[in-house]
Chain A
Amino acid sequence: MTSVEVPLTTRKDWSSDQEVRWCPGCGDYNILAAIQMMMPDLGVRREKTVFVSGIGCASRFPYYMNTYGVHSIHGRAPSIATGLAATRPDLDVWVICGDGDALSIGGNHFIHALRRNIRLNILVFNNQIYGLTKGQYSPTSETGKVTKSTPFGSIDQPFNPISLAIGAEASFVARTHDMDRAHMQATFTQAHAHDGAAFVEVYQNCNVFNDGAFESITGKANRSSMLIPLVHGEPIRFGEDGERGVIQRTDGHLEIVEVSDVGEDAILRHNAHAEDPGLAFALSRLSRGVHDPTPIGVFRSVDRQEYGAQMTHQVDEATAARGKGDLAQLFRSATSWTVD
């Protein structure tokens, strides 16, 4: 698709007339705005764009986009999107999930969509809580979290969604957050350009049931010291003046250091295209929670055969080899006999 044929659009063209119904102050508003504003720049057409979601606050998203959209059932959006993308390679399919939606009830579909590498943009709005059902802990809530369903504190070990995705053979894995529109847009744009399943974890504030969950890293005052931007080909540095960085120790482990202690040349250069997922995985383990400096950006982006294209290829090959299917011939593919 060349951008020449695509009509010029504005945010308004991509916004539906539905009244947005999230709680005032919800981080979902920022994500919606970022995407509505980004769409005109992607060079895509509205009628070729589909948002598929599950159930949860995050999953209301499709109603607000003036595109095609399906608000489906809890956890199953990746499966529905898979059937759509496999049969309609001409479409841009976005999958919007909550953390419970994608990683709890839909965990199975999530990992399998990633390993198959079907062309989907899977955005998981991670607020570390069940929003729509009014505040139970989620599979990303920290151990010890007190919620309505864990009055004595959660005893669950949480998922690290980035590690999970890398372990599930994902070819594109990224993280962004709802407080930085430009970073969201840059990350989503890269996800969209990826030919395969692209997963983006979006830290999202639920100001009603889990307010400030990410404040310690995404708050304006904390960002420079707590967010580690990953940029392909660049040294992994952060801090007000880039004074801190990440090195790989001789035992393979990653460690956060003062650049002045080790020298600039010792700082690890980010390679998102590395075939081996080892470093991307190690980066995903760098932070154990929102009190550690946390990498954001594209952890991993590698080329791998896209699922839908392979499916189409098999159909095309079979058709080329055997000719287009003919029912009369099919019916005679077993030994037939004739009665006069």
Chain B
Amino acid sequence: MEGGPPVTEKLDRVVVRFAGDSGDGMQLTGDRFTTASALLGNDLATFPDYPAEIRAPAGTLGGVSAFQVHISDHDISTHGDSPNVLVAMNPAGLKASIDMMEHGTVVIVNIDSFDERSLAKAGYAQSPLTDGSLHDYDVYEVPMTSLTQEVCKEVGVKPRDAERSKNFFALGLVSWLFTRPIEGTLAWIDEKFKKNELVAEANRRAFRAGFDFGETAELFHVRYEVTPAPFKGGEYVNITGNTALAWGLIAAAERSGLSLFLGSYPITPASDILHELSKRKEFGVRTFQAEDEIAGIGSALGAAYGGALGVTTTSGPGLDLKAEMIGLAISLELPLIIVDVQRAGPSTGLPTKTEQSDLLQALYGRHGESPLPVVAASTPAQCFDAAIEAARIAVTYRTPVILLSDAYLANGSEPWLIPDVDDLPSFSPDFADGPNAVDPEGSPTFLPYLRDPITMARPWAPPGAIGLEHRIGGLEKAVDAGSVSYDGANHEAMSMVRKERIAHIATDIPATALDDPSGSAKVCVVGWGSTYGALNAGVERVRAAGGEAAHVHLMHLNPLPADLGEVLSAYDTVLVPELNLGQLVTVLRATYLIDAIPLSKVRGVPFKAAEIEAAILSAIGETR
């Protein structure tokens, strides 16, 4: 490689992937690189990709933990189809990621970990660094472990502990490579490790050593610069879906004057919502780690009955357990939010991998005729709005609402424009405070199932109000009166009311947001949930190449926007990409009698923009 100072090359976007062992601190490294880039003003999207085991056997493919971040100088919506730069801390990290890389891209390896044992553990018979298999990549071999140990010698930490700072060396090197300022990261290290000054010092030294290595080793002949993206003015934070969702719930409680109660049982990838809410007691948030998922939702329903904003959070297996209680909530007509952070199933499935395969369960997964509203979040930051919307519907219409997120949204992050609190939606619980009818003798009385003529919602009458004492339960209730009724005609009337009152919510949600700039596209891509980024990017690619495609992304899955059938029937082809085997597409076909076609993927990872682009192009080809 030629000498001389490196030149700085400007890139409009770059995808960096950190891959190493679960114990190598890749999530922390990626996260910090992300924050540094966010502070620099880049747009970004992240994708943490980690194994189900906390510490799978070290050095194996199963134990690889990776963090991918896409940074750019313009608006982006995905974590990037394939990395431009891979930092591989060990052979397994390399092996697990190399197939994602296109030829000519940059691979930086920690050469110290490419010994025979580690190669064997990763399943390499020969070193890929010497057998020519990486011939088409721009490979940099950096002795990260030994250089880290070297600079940490004087700190007084043991060599084994010093070795653990090598991810900071990698962070320093990548920070140099992408011309990220170092001050912020040094300050962050001080803060993060303030409880252990030795470790803080080791990390600082390793970080600086990595940065200086880039500068002085004359190994790299280019550095890259990604300039700020043109963001709308305002204050931003980088936020994950789980944090945004938790904050949305707090905001919903604040904006409705309700106190927030979360009943939950830990499960990946939903637990961080429980963790986040548990920290926020100054908002009056009560969090309850229940004995199981049934008690999680049971306690939330009990809190809702008492007049709180009741929430339960879970993932697929937990949603299975909650089904019966959701049915009770439907029968009791009480506000309740059930958050399902979807992961690949069935059963334990792939606990840390993303999938959208709970849609039909959310819509239909209960016995009896038991409709409820379903709302889905589309990006990490949008989890905030989706949570408020779920709460608004639940409270206004006195109904359980299922809010769908997934593993990709939960852990992925993006910049979020901090909203002005006064601009957030507000809604009122409007508790019953007195009798709402007169009995045959002419005295005032309270009928717990007498409905509001506009919302079709029944009164919410928590205990405590004098004269409103009443009994409710899961047995069928008489229309209006709410007393037990075994009458068949009454049951049919109540079933119709339950159906219509949920369908009626369509009058209170936005019309279909159709993205079809030319108005003459023949193919419309319809998605929901976390595929928003990939669909958006795929459609943009088609348009950039002169093609035409429309995009509809649904936040309300039940009821669907009132005009959706009409909107979709205008297209020759309706393409429905989903990370499942065709669930929304089934609903659209059944509901609108349109020949919508599925595009399915269940590999535990999101769609790539290129996959969507290809599917659109092939659909366009067929419409000609």
Query: B470-484: contact bitstring with A at CB < 8 Å (1 yes, 0 no)?
Result: 111111000000011
Q: Is A330 part of the contact surface with B, judged by Cβ < 8 Å?
A: yes
Contact of A72 among B235, B281, B286, B328 (CB under 8 A): B328
| Contacts across chains A and B counted by CB atoms under 8 Å | 207
Contact A328/B306 with A72-B474, A109-B295, A338-B235 known, Cβ cut-off 8 Å:
no
Complex alpha-carbon distance, A325 and B249, angstroms: 13
Interface residues on B, range: 35 or more
Interface residues on A, range: 35 or more
Q: Is B233 part of the contact surface with A, judged by Cβ < 8 Å?
A: yes
Q: Is B418 part of the contact surface with A, judged by Cβ < 8 Å?
A: yes
Are B302 and A81 within 8 A (Cβ)?
A: yes
Are B325 and A73 within 8 A (Cβ)?
A: yes
Which of A44-52, A155-163, A231-239, A247-255 contacts the other chain?
Answer: A44-52
Q: Which residues of A contact B467 (CB under 8 A)?
A: 47
Q: Is A216 part of the contact surface with B, judged by Cβ < 8 Å?
A: no
Are B332 and A70 within 8 A (Cβ)?
A: yes
Majority secondary structure, B binding face: mixed
Q: Is B14 part of the contact surface with A, judged by Cβ < 8 Å?
A: no
Within 8 A of B (CB), among A286-340: 311, 314-315, 317-319, 321-325, 327-328, 330-332, 334-340
CB distance from B281 to the nearest CB of A (A): 4
The chain A residue sitting closest to B324, CB to CB, is A73
Are B281 and A87 within 8 A (Cβ)?
A: no
Query: B226-249: contact bitstring with A at CB < 8 Å (1 yes, 0 no)?
Result: 001001111111110001000100
Are B306 and A47 within 8 A (Cβ)?
A: no
Are A76 and B294 within 8 A (Cβ)?
A: yes
Q: Which residues of A contact B468 (CB under 8 A)?
A: 47
Are B474 and A311 within 8 A (Cβ)?
A: no
Are B232 and A339 within 8 A (Cβ)?
A: yes
Contact A88/B282 with A70-B332, A83-B298, A109-B295 known, Cβ cut-off 8 Å:
no
Complex alpha-carbon distance, A52 and B305, angstroms: 11
Are B35 and A335 within 8 A (Cβ)?
A: yes
Query: B271-312: contact bitstring with A at CB < 8 Å (1 yes, 0 no)?
Result: 000000000111111101011101100111111111110100
CB distance from B343 to the nearest CB of A (A): 24
The chain B residue sitting closest to A336, CB to CB, is B237
Are A319 and B281 within 8 A (Cβ)?
A: yes
The chain A residue sitting closest to B184, CB to CB, is A335
Which of B351-359, B458-466, B563-571 contacts the other chain?
Answer: B458-466
Contact of A47 among B295, B421, B463 (CB under 8 A): B463
Are A109 and B237 within 8 A (Cβ)?
A: no
Residue of B35, B232, B243, B284 contacting most chain A CB atoms (<10 Å): B284
Contact A327/B308 with A71-B475, A87-B303, A108-B295 known, Cβ cut-off 8 Å:
no
Q: Is A277 part of the contact surface with B, judged by Cβ < 8 Å?
A: no
Complex alpha-carbon distance, A79 and B288, angstroms: 11
Are B238 and A80 within 8 A (Cβ)?
A: no
Q: Which 6 A-B pairs have the closest CB atoms?
A: A71-B473, A79-B298, A83-B302, A83-B299, A325-B283, A318-B281
Interface pairs (9), CB distance under 8 Å: A16-B471, A18-B484, A68-B470, A83-B306, A84-B303, A84-B306, A86-B303, A108-B292, A339-B41
* Given A70-B472, A71-B472, A79-B295: 14 more A-B contacts, CB < 8 Å: A47-B464, A47-B465, A72-B298, A73-B474, A76-B324, A82-B288, A82-B295, A83-B306, A86-B286, A108-B292, A318-B282, A330-B247, A334-B238, A339-B233
